[in-house]
Chains A and B, each alone.
Chain A
């Protein structure tokens, strides 16, 4: 391998050993940064921001709800990209990263749904409403469940990676389609986007900055978890390869 290939390309991280070596070096910083952001953001958000004049202190659940919802969608996006890389370039690390992200994304979806329900009970007077956003998150959760179940169900790892990769692609199209379908089907209770760059109805700055810190914390946490779980998957596969070799030798 030439020097240029070794150092400058992103693809060099497709080498599991290089991936593990790099992530292990970055890991402590990632965990640390995620922890700091989450602690600072949540403590700031929970204890040092004023109560909303209409919603009271229930508004503070936003510091969990919004970042979790954001990561629930972005985790699927990351799985989509990783699956594409696996299907096109056959890098095993990529497939394993997609697999590792699945449960994390599913948990994020659950957090978003549960915190939403907890907030919805006092505010909307109901735990659950068939609102487009809620419904599409439920559908997203089903996609995560199906994706994880398919990974678990198939024994041969390469077959599993291929099948889940295609499922992820098809699922993405249908997830977008469902989003439009449920929008059409019911107008809903959920408020519009509160964080877009150009909207006039953004949340006020007092809430905005701790929220951004929380989002950064969730992003870092997600990256750290995915790296960590990918490392675990790589090692699990190595162990399996070693065992297979031992059995073949014996």
Chain B
């Protein structure tokens, strides 16, 4: 499992593209928002948590395409399916690698970009906490979407359409935690819901993803 994880990480870093793409997209979105809505700092402060969450989500969505497609093309997915490692575990590792290469950099970059958007002081902690709790769900759900569309020639658009409604609860609770944190409200309830979604998705969705992959590899 660790070998697979290391392989995926190495591929993501060295093969170029995947690793920086999400981060660059996140950066572009947050830098461009003030140009689009105007530079009033009060307005920026009020929309900052939502914009940062939305940027993180879209950056995640952008990188889902290559999550399984490359392994599908060169046939290593077939090898993984016949390996002694259960496919459920392999899929979980894939999601974990995606999270480390996409989700974690976003979490680390978010506070820096928060400065650009004039995020209020207490918001930084909650932004990082909410992203930490929420991005694993984005990766796991995204892996499911990628597994569904892996056999298709141009699955990108379909992948976005399938994953979009699945991302809604995570986005709502995640942005709610960040927003409430920024204005100093109580954040426990949405944070627990967010963590619950992440934990539930992590526990159950790999089975669905593996089942779907088996069908696609049949």
Residues of A within 8 A of B (CB): 139, 142-143, 145-146, 149-150, 153-154, 159, 162-163, 166-167, 169-171, 174-175, 177-178, 180-182, 184-185
Note all chain A residues with C-beta closer than 8 A to B164.
142, 146
Query: Interface on B for A, CB 8 Å cutoff?
Result: 144, 148-149, 151-152, 155, 158, 161-162, 164-166, 168-169, 172-173, 176, 189-190, 193, 197, 205, 208, 211-212, 215-216, 218
- Residue pairs across A and B with Cβ atoms less than 8 A apart, 27 shown, are A139-B165, A142-B161, A146-B158, A146-B161, A146-B162, A149-B158, A149-B162, A153-B152, A154-B152, A159-B151, A166-B148, A166-B208, A166-B211, A167-B162, A169-B208, A170-B166, A170-B205, A174-B165, A174-B169, A177-B197, A178-B165, A178-B169, A181-B168, A182-B172, A184-B189, A184-B190, A185-B176
B171 to A, closest residue via Cβ: A181
Contact of A159 among B176, B205, B215 (CB under 8 A): B215
Other A-B contacts than A145-B161, A146-B164, A181-B173, 9 sampled, CB-CB below 8 A, are A139-B168, A150-B148, A153-B152, A166-B211, A167-B148, A177-B197, A181-B172, A184-B190, A185-B172
User: B156 → chain A, closest Cβ, in Å?
Assistant: 11
A-side contacts of B168, CB under 8 Å: 139, 174, 178, 181-182
Enumerate chain A residues within 8 angstroms of B165, measured Cβ to Cβ: 139, 142-143, 146, 171, 174-175, 178
Report Cα–Cα, A149/B168, bound state, in Å: 19
Shortest CB distance A46–B (Å): 35
Q: Which residue of B lies closest to A152 (CB)?
A: B158
A185 to B166, CA, bound (A): 16
Q: In the docked arrangement, what's the CA distance between A178 and B166, Å?
A: 8
C-alpha gap A53/B152 in the complex (Å):
56
**Contact residue among A159, A170, A181 (Cβ-Cβ distance under 8 Å from B169):** A181
Q: Are A170 and B208 in contact (CB under 8 A)?
A: yes
Instruction: A174 to B211: give the CA distance in the assembly, Å.
Output: 18
Please judge, given known A-B contacts A163-B148, A163-B215, A166-B212, whether A174 and B176 are in contact too, CB under 8 Å: no
A143 to B211, CA, bound (A): 20
Q: How far is the CB of B133 from chain A (nearest CB, A)?
A: 15
Chain B residues near A149 (CB-CB < 8 A): 158, 161-162
**B158, B172, B197, B212 pick with most chain A CB within 10 angstroms:** B172
Find chain A residues with CB under 8 A from B155 CB: 153
| A184–B176 touching, CB < 8 Å | yes
B-side contacts of A142, CB under 8 Å: 161, 164-165
A243 to B193, CA, bound (A): 53
Shortest beta-carbon distance from B134 to chain A in Å: 12
> Chain A contacts of B152 at CB under 8 A?
153-154
